[in-house]
Each structure stands twice: as structure tokens, then as C-alpha cells.
Amino acid sequence: MIVRDRFFIDGQWATPVSGETIDVHNAGTGAIMGKVPAGTEKDIDAAVAAARAAFESWSATPPAKRAEYLQKIADGLKARAVELGSTIAQEVGMPIKLSGRIQAGLPIANFSNYAKLLNDFQFEARLENSLVIREPVGVVGAITPWNYPLHQIALKVAPALAAGCSVVLKPSEIAPFNAFILAEVIEAAGLPKGVFNLVTGLGPTAGEALVKHPQVDMISFTGSTRAGKRISELAAQTVKRVALELGGKSASIILEDADLVVAVKGTVSGCYLNSGQTCTALTRMLVPASQYDEAAKLAVAAAQGFTLGDPMSETTRLGPLSSHQQLARVRSYIKKGIEEGAELLTGGADQPEGLAGSKLAGGYFVQPTIFGKVHNSMTIAQEEIFGPVLSIIPYHDEEDAIRIANDTPYGLAGAVWSKDEARAQKVARRIRAGQVDVNGGAFNMRAPFGGHKQSGHGREAGVYGLEEFLEYKSLQLKG
């Protein structure tokens, strides 16, 4: 049992106002793996007050000094990388081999990257008789999700600190333990008190208190579109800046001249990463109608290669979902797909075979599932499922494929596959999404990340993420 009974506020471990706690479950077994405090409005008040008091001094700290702190944090996380990978594998369900590389590796790299960025970033420039200054927005409230918990924390906390902002973090209550490890690392790094503060709790209480707080200048949120809309409504009352990274329903367009084997395998892998609990998951595979049968066979074969199992095992390729609530949600979508007439090619809503009687019987497992002959108007093609569920949608020609890809309220990511690189890029430019992979192009942690339409606004990662936490100021000079 992991028991965390204090918040990190104003540079010290503070006793919560309430004695209430939140149970955290092991995704692989369903058993309670620990508890965290349930933060209240008063806890948020204390954290915000600490951040506000620390802001003036921290914002005046030279960028080179801020970079030193960020690198110390990166080094501290690296020293605890094995612990982080193991903790998040249990919280979220990502197989341990991937968790170490992605869930622990990316946050370490991001803190280090922002330390390096500060060496070259220009915070001011002369424009005729004006001195244009980039200054920190102020106190930032960061509200983060459970699917890539520390990575999403790093994409907010690291650039906010780099910009000179102070931070109050409210991580997901489903995967919170990694945030406490970060707080310990920050404490050990000697970051000035109040610059970083951690409060755990539920969205309707701690989360909403943070969003509504008049002393918070900006909210950076990653999560569902529904929650993002609620945050926008609340934040509007104090006209604070809001950055939102929300849901997705990404299309993978396989053009008729693509290497079908490579494209299908890449799409299935892009759909099933982290058991489908990825906002950029390639959940709609668009294939030429003439190639549908072959593509479907290849997809089923690829899906059946994703062996379900204990996320702590080195051989597991597909772990569980993160919570019982998520398990029920994904299974309901699979049932909905069958009801609406989609063809179930593999998988389904039943519990996977072989788990009964084992320690994994209570885990949140869903079979890798593929639906064929899906119409884009179906629920499974329009709504974000957040599980290992792929929809195969046939199309007639290139224009039809682009129309289908853009026929969604989301616009976070996508993919295009073609042996003609120029053609693939031409199609990719017409996809209304913030990120489009071309022929399996790799993720770039320095490129801007964010979405169009109801996938949110604002950008994370690299210099683009740093700029989100800065305001412009013009000094009009005489002579």
C-alpha cells in the first residue's frame, strides 16, 4: 500500500484540511494500491496563495538560473526512472517495457529540453521605438490526465517554470503517485518555496476551485472535451487564459498506392498504444473499398499479435485499461458498435479468456477489438472510445477519404500512407488536425502538439509550449 497523506504546498509537506482520502487502484488487478488526500477549496486556496507569493521573485530569477533548476529536476527524475516506470505501469496499465521508455523517459527528456531552450530563447527584442518583452503570465493552474500522467505534467510544469510562472498542480486522482515523486524531486532540487505546489483531489471540488480562483492567471488542462468545455465556462468568469488539449478521433488514411502491410500494421499499433488510451490514437482506418478485404485480414492478424497480460511482465504487449469506469465505458461502446450494425472482426465486449482464477481476474482488461464496414456516422466512428477499438471505414476515392477524415468534431491527429511522399504530404495538408503522421513519421517532442476544432486550443512541447505561458508587453521608448 502506498499512502500519501500530505500535499506539497509552499515548499513543505502540508496536512490536508479534510481527512478524506481517495483510493487508487492497480489497473492490472483491480486491487487498491494506495490512497491520496481528497483536496478541498481551502487546500487550493493555500496552494494558490503560496504560488502568488512566490511569483514575483521567481519571475525575476534569471533564465539561466531557472534552467539550472529544470536540469536538476530532470536529473532527479532520471535517478528514479525505474520507480516511475513501475509506478505508472501499475496506475495506468501500460506494459512495463513501454512504461519505462515512454511514461518515465518522456518527462525526463522534457524537463531537460526546457532547460536547454532557455539558453537561446529571446525574452525581449527591439522594434523601432518599442522594446517588446515576453513576461510570464503569472500563477498557472495545471490539471492533468491519467493516461500519460507524468508526461502531461511535464508538458505543463516544465515550460511554465521555464517562463517564470509559479504553478499549482492538480493531477488525476486515478494516477496520482507519480506526481508525488515529482514533488519529492523538486523539493530535493531546492526550487524556491511556493514556486511548485501539489494538491490532489476530485475535479468537481479541487479542480473547479483551481479554475475559478481569482488569483490564478492561467489554466492549462488536458482531458476530455466535456471537461474542457466546463473549464472554459468557469474560467471565463475571471477572463483567465486557458490552454486545452482535449480528445481526438484520428483518421489513418491508407491511399491505394501505399504499402498495405506496413500501413495497416502501423495503424493498428497507433490505435492500441497504451491500450488505446491515447488522445492521438489512430482509431479510424480509412481504406480503399477495393482493398477492404485484404486490409481487414491484415488488421485482424496484427490485432491478434497484441498479447494481453500483466503490465508488469516484459512480454505483455497490451495491458489493461486504467479504471473500472473506463472498462465499463469501452465495453459499452463495443456493444453500441454491434447494435448499430458494424461488423465485429475480432475481439468484443466479453472478458478476455484466460484471466478467470488468476491475479488478473479483477484487472480492467478489454480484448483488442476491430470493427469492419463502419460508416462514419456510427457512434464508434464519431465518439472517442479511449480503448483498444479500431474502426475500418472503406472509401471511394481520395476526395472521399479526406471528407471522411475531416467529418468529426475533433482535430487532434491523423496519418496518411502512400508510396508517393509528395502526394501523402498534399493529403496531410488538407486534414484539419494539429498533427499528421506521414508514412509512419516519428513523434517529435520539440514540435508543437495540440488540436483544431473540439480537440482544443493552444500548443504544448518545444518552444511553442513555452510561448503559451508568456505575455507580450511593449515599452514605448522616446528617442
Q: Which of 208, 279, 384, 460 is catalytic?
A: 279
Least-confidence region, from 61-75, 87-101, 269-283, 347-361: 347-361
Task: Kindly state whether residues 435 and 355 are assigned to the same domain.
Answer: yes
Average pLDDT in the 118-145 region? 97
Task: Kindly state whether residues 380 and 264 are assigned to the same domain.
Answer: yes
pLDDT tens profile 54-82: 999 999 999 999 999 999 999 999 999 99
Instruction: Provide the mean pLDDT of the chain.
Output: 97
CATH of residue 343's domain is 3.40.309.10
Task: Kindly state whether residues 208 and 322 are assigned to the same domain.
Answer: no
* pTM for the full predicted model: 0.97
Task: Kindly state whether residues 360 and 418 are assigned to the same domain.
Answer: yes
Task: Kindly state whether residues 271 and 316 are assigned to the same domain.
Answer: yes
- At residue 479, the pLDDT reads 72
Least-confidence region, from 30-44, 250-264, 357-371, 414-428: 357-371
pLDDT tens profile 310-340: 999 999 999 999 999 999 999 999 999 999 9
Query: Would 309 be classed as within a structural domain?
Result: yes
Query: Would 257 be classed as within a structural domain?
Result: yes
Backbone Cα Rg of the chain: 23
Judge whether residue 469 has pLDDT over 90.
yes
Reply yes or no on whether 279 is catalytic: yes
pLDDT band with cut points at 50, 70 and 90 for residue 341: very high
- Structural domain including 102 reads 2-246+455-476
Q: Which of 245, 384, 460, 468 is catalytic?
A: 245
| Cell numbers for 296 | 481487414
Task: Kindly state whether residues 267 and 181 are assigned to the same domain.
Answer: no
- At residue 44, the pLDDT reads 98
- At residue 353, the pLDDT reads 87
| Short-list 226, 244, 324, 311, CA closest to 274 | 311
Task: Kindly state whether residues 88 and 218 are assigned to the same domain.
Answer: yes
Query: Would 449 be classed as within a structural domain?
Result: no
Judge whether residue 214 has pLDDT over 90.
yes
pLDDT tens profile 360-389: 999 999 999 999 999 999 999 999 999 999
Structural domain count of the chain: 2
Average pLDDT in the 21-37 region? 97
- At residue 320, the pLDDT reads 97
- Sequence length of the chain is 479
